[in-house]
Amino acid sequence: MDRAILHFDLDTFFVSVERKQDSRLEKKPILVGGTGDRGVVAACSYETRQFGVHSGMPMKMARMLCPEATVIRGNGETYSKHSKEVSEIISQNVPVFEKASIDEFYADLSGMDKYFNCFGMASELRQRIIRETGLPISFGLSTNKLVSKVATGEAKPNNQLQVEAGTEKVFLAPMEVQKIPMVGEKMNQTLNNLGIRYVKTIQEMPMEIMGQVLGKNGVALWNRANGLDNSPIIPFHERKSISSERTFGKDTGDVRKMREMVRAMAETLAFQLRTGEKLTSCVSVKIRYSDFNTFSKQLKIAYTSADHVLIPHIERLFDQLYNRRMMVRLVGVSFSDLVTGNYQINLFDDTEERLNLYQAMDYIKTKYAYNKDGDQILTWASTMGISDIGAMGNPFNGEPPIIPAHRNA
């Protein structure tokens, strides 16, 4: 039996949400992302793309290319809310559902063609999403996730496309190689240097040759170029790590400010661990200097989720890492090697007062510590100088990480 894999993608999602909230933005060039010079374009409307603007480029460059564009900082909580509305509609109407990102969804309709026409069912579901949420959405339908994702890209904007079983290679053949997921700028340049510009060229090559030239990536690329993909629908995403990082509006050499920043990040991430009943055994700090050289340092520790254990480790890592005495562009903190569990009391170090303080702080944070934009308004005194380290929701709810508009320190 051929599989029937459906891929949905909300078109220019952040832009569409902003237009839904303000109809005056319709048909106007829109940029969503960081509003400062260090900001990055998180999303852009189709009207800006004719000027060469694309997601991920520096906001300063995007403004130069399209000076008439309206720039919006964006709101991660608002986007999450609208994404959940779409998730609920899809999950209620399909047997197996995967949320791959805040604006991307997969569903397995295999076997349902005995009772329904899968393409017709997907079309009705798409129209229901548009009708109930007011957001444009496109879909691709084929026998696997890879081809469906490519089909969605070809269907956009606000349209739909089916690739019949057995026609996957024919569908992919005339496309340029960068349309295959996993082919970024660097690999695309490598392939072009080898004289490979179109997918058809890869299809005509033996898999062994691709493996000899590009290793495992070459074999994976050959399979994708031939429309081969057996990856399953994954209903739940298990988070293996959580992290936070901030780019400063201007390069800074203020050590006190940087230490406060990494401390505030560690505090917020530790709170997320406790609310998600998780423990970490690996902490790391990242620093990017003004010359864009990036360094990180990590430390293995006993499993914990306690501020008074994690924050000193983070501060020591920062002190060890910051040794070039140069201006700094970005700092970040990450907790990894996560397991399910609750903080274990240390009979020699912990006091009843400290444990009660954690319980009280976490309770108040859960109820009152974040405003409507997701920004933290309750913190330890030592990090009161740092704002805008938002909770950004529960990272352990099974959904993929949210990619909010870039936020500057």
Torsion region of 213: left, alpha or beta (phi above 0 gives left; psi -120 to 50 gives alpha): alpha
**Tell me: the pLDDT tens digits for 21-68?**
999 999 999 999 887 777 888 899 999 999 999 988 889 999 999 999
> Is 260 assigned a catalytic role?
no
Catalytic residue among 104, 154, 260, 315: 104
Q: What is the pLDDT averaged over residues 321-329?
A: 87
220-225 mean pLDDT? 96
Q: What is the mean pLDDT of the chain?
A: 86
The structure's pTM equals 0.73
- Indicate whether 349 pLDDT > 70: no
Q: How confident is the model at residue 405 (pLDDT cuts 50, 70, 90)?
A: very low
37 is in an annotated binding site: no
Identify the CA nearest to 173 among candidates 192, 210, 198: 198
- pLDDT at 380 exceeding the cut of 60: no
Residue 370 DSSP symbol: B
254 is in an annotated binding site: no
- Angle formed at CA 106 by CA 103 and CA 108, multiple of 5 degrees: 160
β-strands 328-336, 137-142 pairing: unpaired
Q: Residues near 169 by Cβ (< 8 Å), separated by ≥ 6?
A: 203, 226, 227
Q: What's the pLDDT score for residue 348?
A: 42
Q: Look at residues 33, 35, 37 and name the one whose alpha carbon lies nearest to residue 18.
A: 33
List all residues 6 or more positions away from 359 whose beta carbon is below 8 Å from its beta carbon.
Answer: none
Sign of CA dihedral 106, 111, 114, 115: negative
Q: Are 175 and 196 in contact (CB under 8 A)?
A: no
Higher-confidence position of 162 and 378: 162
Neighbours of 325 (CB within 10 A): 8
